[in-house]
Structure 1
Amino acid sequence: MPSFLSDGITIAYEVFGEGEPVLLIHGFGSSGFINWVATGWVEALNKAGYQAITIDDRGHGQSEKLYDPNDYYPTLMAADAERLLDHLGIERAFVIGYSMGARITAFLALKSPQRVRAAVLGGMGMNLINGLSDSREIIDGLNAEKLSDVSHPTGRQFRIFADHSKADRQALAACMSTSRQPMVIEDVRKIAMPVLVAVGEADDMAGSPEELARILPHGEAFVIPRRNHMLATGDAKFKEAAIAFLGKNALA
């Protein structure tokens, strides 16, 4: 994978196809390949005439691994995404994020609205504002000596995912400590570009998509039928809704 330096940190990325650029920001413990290539997103976007750009968040995939929790605030990861656009010479792009990637997308849209044409927040509803309460259990699960030592359901789920993807669990534990920083409601109201909030019908981690969409000045909600947080990622209806949203805002 190609890479570049973001404030001295090596960030890996890939570019697929041609057309209007869509930056894809993956979720916690994942990677650009796992979240967007393996699930068919890159193929679907290319077929729809878009250029797909994947980034491996710091501490993930082939990007540099960091072990200080202070290196993982969403504002810092949003800055990595913006510097990737700079590196590629892209002035403005559509941005799609999932879960942690959606939080990063929201902070990017808040800090640098001129860079984001429209955004899709997947797997992230009102908990963008409310936060989540199981970070300690996930960190303990990642730091446990072996899977059999992990009893908390969410901690066990993330440990299995990290083991399956051969992730650096120490880096992920540092990331989990700070990457879930909530966004205050006053800042959410400042995100002025169109935003699609897409959450699985059975997702118990994201919070309400409808409530978040009502707070956003130009938000709309999409409920992904019969999907939980993990299974919604590559859902065909999610892809269709997101690509239709991009098309509507490309015309605008």
Structure 2
Amino acid sequence: MPSFTSEQLTLSYEVVGHGRPVLCIHGFASSGKVNWIDTGWVQHLTDAGYQAVVLDNRGHGQSDKPHDPELYTPQAMARDAVNLLDHLEHDSAVLLGYSMGARIAAFAAFADPERVSCAIFGGMGMNLVNGLSDGGDIIAGLLAPSLDGLTNPTARQFRIFADHTKSDRQALAACMETSRSPMARADVRRIDRPVLVAVGADDEMAGPPDALATLLPKGEALVIPRRDHMRATGDPKFKAAALEFIGRHLRDDADL
């Protein structure tokens, strides 16, 4: 994979296809390949005439994996996304984020709205504002010697996923400490770009999509039927709704 430097870290990325860029930002303990390539998203985007830009977040995939929690704030990770757009000389892009990636997309859209054509917050509803309370359990699960004795279901789920992706579990634990910082309601209300909030009907981690979409000045909500947090990522209905949303808002931009 090619790489670039962002705030003294070497981060990996992939560019596939041509056309308007869609920057794909993956979730916690995942990678660009697992979240976007293996689920068919990249093929889906390129078939529709877009360029898929797939980032491995710091601490993940083939990117550098520091163990300092202070390097994993959502603000810092949002700067990585914008720095990648700079590196590729893109004035703006669609931001497609899932879970932690949606939080990163939200902070990027707040800090640098002129770089964002529109955004999709997948797997992230009102808990963008409310925060999440299971971070300590997940950290303990990541740092435990083995799965034996791990009874918290969320901790077990993330530990199994981290082992499956052969992740640096100490880097993930550092990331979990700070990457889940909530966004203030007032800041959410200042994101003036069109945003699709897409959450699985059985997702117990994201929080309600309607409530977040209502806070966003140009928010729309999508409930993905019969999907939980892990299984919504590659859902065909999610992909179809995302492509319709992107196409509609990019056309609106072109008409201005």
Query: Aligning the two structures, in what range does the TM-score lie when normalised by the shorter sequence?
Result: over 0.9
- Cα deviation code 1:142-174 (max 9, x no counterpart): 000011131110000000000001000000000
Amino acid at match of 1:43: Q
Q: How far apart are 1:248 and its partner, in Å?
A: 0.2
Partner secondary structure for residue 147 of structure 1: coil
**1:158-237 alignment, distance < 5 Å:** 158-237=158-237
List structure 1 runs of 4+ shifted beyond 2 angstroms: none
What is the letter of the counterpart of residue 199 of structure 1? V
Equivalent pairs: percent with the same residue? 62
Q: Distance in 1 between matches of 2:70 and 2:98?
A: 22
Partner of 2:83: 83
Letter in 1 for 2:71: D
Give the equivalent residue in structure 2 for 1:44. 44
Q: Which residue of 1 aligns with 2:6?
A: 6
| Alignment-derived partner of residue 25 in structure 2 | 25
Q: Distance in 2 between matches of 1:232 and 1:173?
A: 24
What's the counterpart of residue 68 of structure 2?
A: 68
- For 2:49 and 2:238, the matched residues in 1 are separated by 17
AA aligned to 2:22 is: V
Paired letter, 2:217:
P
Q: How far apart, CA to CA, are the structure 2 residues paired with 1:151 and 1:107?
A: 33
CA distance in 2, matches of 1:154, 1:7: 32
Query: 2: distance between equivalents of 1:150 and 1:63?
Result: 28
Task: Read off the aligned partner of 1:68 and give its amino acid letter.
Answer: D
Give the Cα separation in 1 of the matches to 2:203 and 2:46.
28
Match of residue 93 from structure 2: 93
- Secondary structure of residue in 2 paired with 1:222: strand
Residues paired across the two proteins, number: 252
**Deviation of the 1:182 alpha carbon:** 0.1
Q: Which residue of 1 aligns with 2:59?
A: 59
| Aligned-residue offset at 1:200 | 0.1
Amino acid at match of 1:55: L
The alpha-carbon deviation at position 53 of structure 1 amounts to: 0.3
Superposed CA RMSD: 0.4
Structure 2: distance between partners of 1:243 and 1:139: 35
Q: What SS is found at the alignment partner of 2:155?
A: helix
Distance in 2 (alpha carbons) for counterparts of 1:250 and 1:103: 22
Distance in 2, Cα, partners of 1:34 & 1:188: 28
- 3-state DSSP of counterpart to 2:77: helix
Which runs of 5 or more structure 2 residues have no equivalent in the other structure? none
The answer for the alignment partner of 2:117 in structure 1 is 117
Larger deviation, residues 146-155 vs 206-215: 146-155
Give the Cα–Cα distance (whole angstroms) in 2 for the partners of residues 77 and 144 of structure 1.
26
* TM-score, normalization by structure 1: 1.00
Deviation at 1:111, TM superposition (A): 0.1
3-state SS of 2:148 partner: helix
SS at structure 2 position matched to 1:149: coil
Q: Give, in whole Å, the separation in 2 of the partners of 1:8 and 1:31.
A: 20
Task: Measure the CA separation in 2 of the matches of 1:22 and 1:51.
Answer: 6
Residue in structure 1 matched with residue 104 of structure 2 by the alignment: 104
Q: What amino acid maps onto 2:238 in structure 1?
A: F
Instruction: String of CA shifts for 1:114-165, please: whole Å, max 9, x gaps.
Output: 0000000000000000000000000000000011131110000000000001
2:240 — aligned with what? Answer: 240
- Give 2:157's aligned amino acid: Q
CA offsets 1:206-232 (integer angstroms, 9 cap, x no match): 000000000100000000000000000
- TM-score scaled by structure 2? 0.98
Q: C-alpha deviations, 1:173-193, integer Å up to 9, x for none?
A: 000000000000000000001
Q: Distance in 1 between matches of 2:203 and 2:151?
A: 21
